[in-house]
Amino acid sequence: MAIKDSAPAEAVADRPEGRTRRPSGTTRRRYPRRLTPYLFIAAAVSLLLLFTYWPAANLFYYSVTDWDGLDQTKHFVGADNYVRVFTDPRIFEVFFVSLYYFGASFVQIAIALYFATILSQSTRFRNFFRGVLFFPYLINGVAIGFVFLYLFQPGGTIDTVLSWAGVGDPPQWLGDPEVANWSLAGTSVWRYMGMNFVLFLGAIQSIPSELYEAAELDGANKWQQFRAIILPGIRRIIGLMFILSIAGSLSVFEIPFIMTGGANGTSTFVIQTIQTAFTHRQVGTASAMAVVLLAIVLLVTWAQRKLFPDEKVDLT
Amino acid sequence: MSKQALAGVATFAAAAIALSGCSGSGADDPSNTIDGEVKGDLKIITWRTDLVENGQFDEYIAAFEEQYPDVSVEVEGITDYAGEMTTRLSTNNYGDVIGIPAAIQPNQFEQFLEPLGDKADFEDTYRFLNGAAYEGVQYGLAIGGNANGVLYNKRVFEAAGITELPSTPEAFLAALQQIKDNTDAIPLYTNYKDGWPLGQSFGNLGGITANPDASSEMAKDPAPWTEGKDMYTIDSLLYDAVAAGLTEEDPLTTNWEQSKVDIATGKIGAMTLGSWAISQMQDAAEANGASADDIGFMAFPANVDGTQYTVIGGDYNLAVSRHSESKAAAWAWIKWFVEESGFAENEAMISTVADAPLPENLSGLEEAGVQLMEMNAAPAGEEGLLNEVASDSQVDLFGNIYRQELVDVARGAADGDKESFFADLNERWGASVERLAG
């Protein structure tokens, strides 16, 4: 414990006067002072332990029991729940649905990058457009679910607008299983694009402006500037976005849950976990599913870091 | 880490434990039994937030306190009752009188509830005892009961030219077809999106074959979705109606609140619901300029030798918390609420008291010669078996997940047909029956 050894020394070094000037400096008083750094972090650490690590530990514990969420006794069943998660095809097939969201996340990143590039330059009304693009991210996800539910209804807003454009026979946006997942993924793009946009914008703006001036003097056009300056400059943010997209598309929840409740082939792994825990009352199995999802996300992140190592960005 | 640091952490932990564990004493007091003196503070937890808000509950409380002046009653309404109670049950502090949430299995009653006596002693006086009994001990009394069947709009049926209420699945489908051909109404509304109304048809189990043991038999039946059995008939009706295009066009955008208005104003022909829904639909009719008399209720369209049967069953069961500090007062409240409060009459439910008359909204059933039947209790030791099989096989009999899949298959939105879907259900169910029997 390095802190233990160095803390008193530092305290003395930092505030020598305070120490000597204390009116009644008995030996008892030394201990509280050594404790000071611990007391400062105690509140934060105990909240972290209480609300993050303790529940997480409980999750691991539940995942090896047959608990139904209510009973006062929990029976230890070993790895049975994990075996079930990996052997029941009904549990794993929902990961295919995540592919829709993963595919959509590329569209999302592309759109976000496009707008971030344009609005980082001196475009007219750029602050207004920045606000407009970021705004959806600020809306409550449940509200978005309801808004789009009305939008996608037969004869709803989308159908009306399409009929102006002469499309007379639009599909059932949520009722047709071929279309439903694309509609939901599209909603997800609309919601989260603003977040990507702001991160890209921040990264692009941190690139020194002399580089653009130098490039312009050398006769580079906008597209060449984008490829040679912006793209390498924000490579780390793009990498981060991909990790977040993969993790996000594996754990999609609120949009399909609000809009379809997971019906019509739109169930995701998290919705299925909820149903297992609270509809089928198998909290043990559901906990195992949650642990498996965590492991998969960690694995994907690790693989991504191995494949695309974190290179230092050097624009000069 | 120094001793003092450890002591600090220990103090903090002790404080946390003290904060979370400050409830629950008094339950050990030997005089605190349901037969004791009726006095003390009473906390009632209810799912009927509408009655709490409109003041009706306060009237019940005032009437009770007049009769038992030593009791002080407080009520707490919870909107997401089933979900929130499941969490609260892990503490000792979940009120004195509760409605037994569906999450508690019969073999768990004793962990949470105070036994009220032998079931045999209640049988002469009360209906609907099976839902809250385990191994011959009664843990609760139903707040009232409902009949299962089909809710319909009389004007739509008339406009479609249906003169006689259908009493077979085929006649019912033909009637729905008539509605589709002759009116603008949606013949049968599934409420697919909200989901839970799809589970309502399960209440008809037993009524189709007039078999009061159907649910305990199903718990051991390796293939309940076989022609001639109750589940096959119930789910077939939904499947065939959807497959024939007799339900709403886009099931993903249904809306329960709107459906009440729509059936009341004749935009929907019929919905498979319990009789508890009648009063809500009638209210919707009055509020939207239609007549409450338009709402009709019929038995599930099936008959045994010309006689139709409708299953009646208890709603929520009221029970006394095992951790209550005034158990006698809680038990007094339950008996008073079931027998004297007038709740069942006000809500148009079937009274739990056996010799009370049937509510008026079920008079149509009596006129049609429909027999009311109550399901028999499961054999001792198998009270929770049906639930266990349903959980294990993930065929949620009471819910909507597998029925939504059924609707998807029926409307061609998912692979398969009726035979393959029912075969899959039988396979999953049968595997769990085998696993739990062994």
Tell me: do B90 and B213 sit in the same domain.
Answer: no
What's the rounded Cα separation, in Å, for the pair B207 and B309? 5
Query: Domain range holding B324?
Result: 29-142+315-360
pLDDT in tens, B396-420: 888 888 999 999 999 988 888 999 9
Whether chain A has a CB inside 8 Å of the CB on B90: the answer is yes
Radius of gyration of chain A (CA): 27
Contact between chains at B193 and A260 (C-beta distance less than 8 A): yes
Distance from CA of B77 to the nearest CA of A (A): 21
Residue B324: CATH number of its domain: 3.40.190.10
Tell me: do B158 and B251 sit in the same domain.
Answer: yes
B370 falls within a domain: no
Q: What is the pLDDT of residue A315?
A: 60
What's the rounded Cα separation, in Å, for the pair B249 and B10? 63
Counted domains in chain B? 2
Q: Which residue in B86, B90, B250 is closest to A154 by CB distance?
A: B250
Give the residue on A whose Cα is nearest the Cα of B407: A264
Whether chain A has a CB inside 8 Å of the CB on B396: the answer is yes
Tell me: do B219 and B114 sit in the same domain.
Answer: no
Tell me: do B240 and B115 sit in the same domain.
Answer: no
pLDDT in tens, B157-181: 999 998 889 999 999 999 999 999 9
Contact between chains at B9 and A263 (C-beta distance less than 8 A): no
Whether chain A has a CB inside 8 Å of the CB on B408: the answer is yes
What's the rounded Cα separation, in Å, for the pair B92 and B365? 44
Q: Is the pLDDT of residue B98 over 90?
A: yes
Single-letter code of the amino acid located at B341: S
Question: Higher pLDDT residue, A3 or A106?
Answer: A106
Tell me: do B118 and B174 sit in the same domain.
Answer: no
Question: ipTM of this complex > 0.95?
Answer: no
Q: What is the pLDDT of residue A82?
A: 93
Average pLDDT, chain A: 84
Q: Which residue in A34, A42, A154 is closest to B249 by CB distance?
A: A154
B355 falls within a domain: yes
B432 falls within a domain: yes
B23 falls within a domain: no
Q: Which residue in A46, A177, A282 is closest to B414 by CB distance?
A: A177
Sign (positive or negative) of CA dihedral B201, B202, B203, B206: positive
Q: What is the pLDDT of residue B96?
A: 93
Give the residue on B whose Cα is nearest the Cα of A154: B250
Contact between chains at B5 and A279 (C-beta distance less than 8 A): no
Contact between chains at A70 and B90 (C-beta distance less than 8 A): yes
Strands B140-142 and B317-320: antiparallel
Whether chain A has a CB inside 8 Å of the CB on B192: the answer is yes
B9 falls within a domain: no
Q: What is the pTM of this model?
A: 0.77
Tell me: do B136 and B164 sit in the same domain.
Answer: no
Distance from CA of A139 to the nearest CA of B (A): 22
Give, in order, the Cα–Cα distances in Å from B44 to each of A159, B49, B408: 49, 12, 42
Where does the pLDDT of residue A30 fall: very low under 50, low under 70, confident under 90, or very high at 90 and above? Answer: low
B373 falls within a domain: no
Q: Which residue in B9, B83, B192 is closest to A263 by CB distance?
A: B192
Contacts of B284 (CB under 8 A, 6+ apart): B260, B261, B263, B264
Ramachandran bin of B149, using left for φ above 0, alpha for ψ from -120 to 50, beta for the remaining angles: left
Give the residue on B whose Cα is nearest the Cα of A31: B4
Tell me: do B393 and B324 sit in the same domain.
Answer: no
Give the residue on A whose Cα is nearest the Cα of B86: A70
B21 falls within a domain: no
CB contacts, 8 Å: B16 with chain A: 50
Angle at the Cα of B146 from the Cα atoms of B141 and B147, rounded to 5 degrees: 140
The helix-helix angle for A126-138 and A95-120 (nearest 10°) equals: 160
Where does the pLDDT of residue A29 fall: very low under 50, low under 70, confident under 90, or very high at 90 and above? Answer: low
| Domain boundary pick from B360, B395, B422 | B360
Q: Is the pLDDT of residue A8 over 50?
A: no
Q: Is the pLDDT of residue B392 over 90?
A: no
Closest CA to A129 of A192, A207, A227, A201: A201
Q: Which residue in B8, B105, B414 is closest to A265 by CB distance?
A: B414
Tell me: do B251 and B392 sit in the same domain.
Answer: yes
Distance from CA of A282 to the nearest CA of B (A): 7
CB contacts, 8 Å: A264 with chain B: 252, 404, 408, 413-414
Is the CB of residue B220 less than 8 Å from the CB of residue B437?
Answer: yes
Interface test with A, best of B17, B104, B110, B253 (most A CBs within 10 A): B253
CB contacts, 8 Å: B410 with chain A: none
Contact between chains at A70 and B104 (C-beta distance less than 8 A): yes
Give the residue on B whose Cα is nearest the Cα of A156: B253
The three-state DSSP-derived secondary structure of chain B is CCHHHHHHHHHHHHHHHHHHCCCCCCCCCCCCCCCCCCCEEEEEEECCHHHHHCCHHHHHHHHHHHHCCCEEEEEEECCCHHHHHHHHCCCCCCCCEEECCCCCCHHHHHHHECCCEEHHHHCCCECCCHHHEECCEECEEECCEEEEEEEEEHHHHHHCCCCCCCCCHHHHHHHHHHHHHHCCCEEECCCCCCCHHHHHHHHHCCCCCCCCCHHHHHCCCCCCCCCCCHHHHHHHHHHHHHHCCCECCCHHHCCHHHHHHHHHCCCEEEEEEECCHHHHHHHHHHHCCCCHHHEEEECCCCCECCECEEEEEECCEEEEECCCCCHHHHHHHHHHHHHCCCHHHHCCCECCECCCCCCHHHHHHHHCCCEEEECCCCCCCCCCHHHHHHHHHCCCCCCCHHHHHHHHHHCCCCCCCHHHHHHHHHHHHHHHHHHHHC
Contact between chains at B193 and A261 (C-beta distance less than 8 A): yes
Residue ranges and CATH numbers for the domains of chain A are 89-307 (1.10.3720.10)
Tell me: do B226 and B334 sit in the same domain.
Answer: no
Tell me: do B154 and B131 sit in the same domain.
Answer: no
CB contacts, 8 Å: B414 with chain A: 177, 264-265
Q: What is the pLDDT of residue B20?
A: 46
Tell me: do B49 and B84 sit in the same domain.
Answer: yes
Tell me: do B209 and B288 sit in the same domain.
Answer: yes
Q: What is the pLDDT of residue A13?
A: 44
Contact between chains at B401 and A279 (C-beta distance less than 8 A): yes
Interface test with B, best of A1, A71, A259, A275 (most B CBs within 10 A): A71
Distance from CA of B272 to the nearest CA of A (A): 20
